[in-house]
Homo-oligomer: A and B are copies of this chain.
Amino acid sequence: MRTVPVVRNILEANQRLAEENRKVFRDAGLFVINLMSGPGAGKTSLLERTIDGLRGQVRIGVIEGDIQSTYDADRISQKGAQVVQLNTGGACHLDGNMIKSALEPLDLERLDLLVVENVGNLVCPAEFNLGEDMKVMILSVAEGDDKPLKYPLMFQTSAVLLINKVDLLPYVDCDVKVMRERALQLNGDLTIFEVSCRTGQGLEAWFQWLREQVAMRKAKGDGAKA
C-alpha cells in the first residue's frame, strides 16, 4: 500500500508538467512527436532520413533521450538540425520535467516540428506524457511479428506505427500482415507505414503525412489530434 500514493503523485506531477510543455509548444505553433521504440529499431536513422527528406520544407528540432552518451545527438547535429541531448543517467524513459529542462537551448520560434526521441524501450516510455501531440512508434521486422502481443500499451497509446527494416523481410521470420493485424487489434486507429531507413523505401508517404500534420497545426493553431 505504501508505494501506490508515491507512484500516483509521480504520474500526476508528470501530467501537470506535460500540460505546461504542451502550452509552450502550442504557443510556438509547433507540431510535436514523442518517438518511441525498442533499442535499435531505427529511431535515429528515421530522424536522419526525415531531416534530409524535409529539408527546406519543414524546420525540424530534436530532443535526444539516452541513458548516457551524446552519440545520437552528434548524428543529428551533423544533419544541421537543432538538437539537445538529454541523458537520463539510468532512467528508462523521459518525463515531462526532463523535456521542460531541455527546451531552453532550443529556438522554438524557428521550428515547425519537434521530435523527442525517447529512450529505446518498448515498455516504460508509453506511460509518460511529455506534452506531445502524438506518440509515434517504430517496430523493426527483425524484432518479429509477435511484439504487439507482448508489449500492448505502446501500440495502444501510439497514433502511428512505422514498420521499419522491410528490406530485411526476405531474411527474417516475420509476417508483416500478421504484425499489422495484431497491432490493429490493439488500436484500430493506428496509421501504419512500412519503410526501410536503409534503402529509403516507403519514406515519402511518411514525409507527406508529416507535411500535412505540420500544415494543419499552422492553419488551425490547435487543430491537430492531441
Contacts and interface: CB of A to CB of B under 8 A. Distances in A.
Contacts of A143: 39-40, 142
Contacts of A168: 142, 168, 171-172
The listed residue with most B CB atoms (<10 A of its CB), out of A68, A92, A198, is: A92
Nearest to A10: B3
A160 to B, nearest CB: 18
A38 interface: yes
Contacts of A173: 198
Contacts of A120: 38, 122, 150-151
Contact of A121 (B69, B123, B144): B123
A147 B66 CA distance: 11
A75 to B, nearest CB: 9
A3 B14 CA distance: 15
A56 interface: no
Interface in A121-173: 121-124, 140, 142-144, 146-147, 149-153, 165, 167-168, 171-173
Contacts of A171: 167-168, 171
Nearest to A122: B39
Interface residues of A, number: 39
A67 interface: yes
A41 B146 CA distance: 12
A223 interface: no
A142 B198 contact: no
The 9 A-B pairs of least Cβ separation, nearest first, read A40-B143, A142-B142, A92-B123, A38-B39, A69-B149, A40-B144, A39-B122, A38-B38, A92-B124
Interface of A: 2-3, 6, 10, 38-40, 66-69, 71-72, 90, 92, 119-124, 140, 142-144, 146-147, 149-153, 165, 167-168, 171-173, 198
Given A67-B152, A68-B149, A90-B153, 6 more contacts: A3-B10, A40-B144, A92-B121, A121-B122, A121-B124, A142-B168
